[in-house]
Amino acid sequence: MNDRNNDILEKIEVFIVEIGVSGGSIRDLIKRAIADGLPPYQVFTDGMVKGITIVGQKYEKGEYFLTELIGAGEIMKEGMEEISPLLSSTNVKPLGKVVIGTVSGDLHDIGKNIVKMLLTSVGFVVNDLGVDVSAEKFVEEVRSAKPDILAMSALLTTTMDSMNTTICEIQKAGLRKTVKIIIGGAPVTVEYGEKIGADAAAMDAAQGVRICREWMDVGA
């Protein structure tokens, strides 16, 4: 790779990390990279994914806040609209498949939507079931879609038990060994995740995405 290629990839990475403070657009940077002859997948992994990974690390360290996380996610979303058709044409395999939803009795979706946006931006195919999702619906989707990961969200302590119910139903259906389960939301703790048999509990969106990437053997 020549210095020019390194430069444009770094510009894409920095643009995302700095939430577009330098002006311009992520679309223009991606177009320049492609015009310079860089493969779409390299633009995605060595530019975009590197950038959003640094944003996630800064968020986990407390250097960035929710505003920055959402802002970077929106830039990634715009970038994905530009790069996705090119990735599809090169038959790039998705990082993995995730089924996500807010559990039964809970109508909150802000956290879930942020996780979905970040998962999509790093290469996952995400099937969003929405809010107030019953255990039966989760089981049905795990059976039919055969995801690598099931992600459940709850914002209310009164709805957390729905996570336990869902995991129990997945076990009864004989599907537990087929899928990794991660839970998240304001009242969720690592201890609760262990208690109900989840594979992981994420304290925030960035950590959740990092865990999912690690499960798919992709360093974060």
Mind listing the pLDDT tens digit for each residue in 166-193? 999 999 999 999 999 999 998 999 999 9
Question: CATH assignment of 3-89, given 1.20.120.530, 1.10.1240.10, 2.30.30.100, 1.10.3720.10?
Answer: 1.10.1240.10
Q: What is the mean pLDDT of residues 72-77?
A: 90
Question: CATH assignment of 96-215, given 3.40.190.10, 1.10.1240.10, 3.90.105.10, 3.40.50.280?
Answer: 3.40.50.280
Q: Which two tokens stand for residue 28?
A: 């223009």
In the DSSP assignment, the letter for residue 63 is S
- pLDDT for 3: 65
Q: What is the DSSP string of 131-188?
A: SSB-HHHHHHHHHHH--SEEEEE--SGGGTHHHHHHHHHHHHTT-GGG-EEEEESTT-
Q: Which tens digits make up the pLDDT trace of 192-213?
A: 999 999 999 998 888 999 999 9
Q: Which tens digits make up the pLDDT trace of 99-145?
A: 999 999 999 888 898 898 888 888 899 999 999 999 999 999 999 99
Q: Are 30 and 43 in contact (CB under 8 A)?
A: yes
Measured CA distances, 37 to 30, 81, 123, 207 (Å): 11, 19, 21, 34
State the Cα–Cα distance between residues 148 and 62, nearest whole angstrom: 30
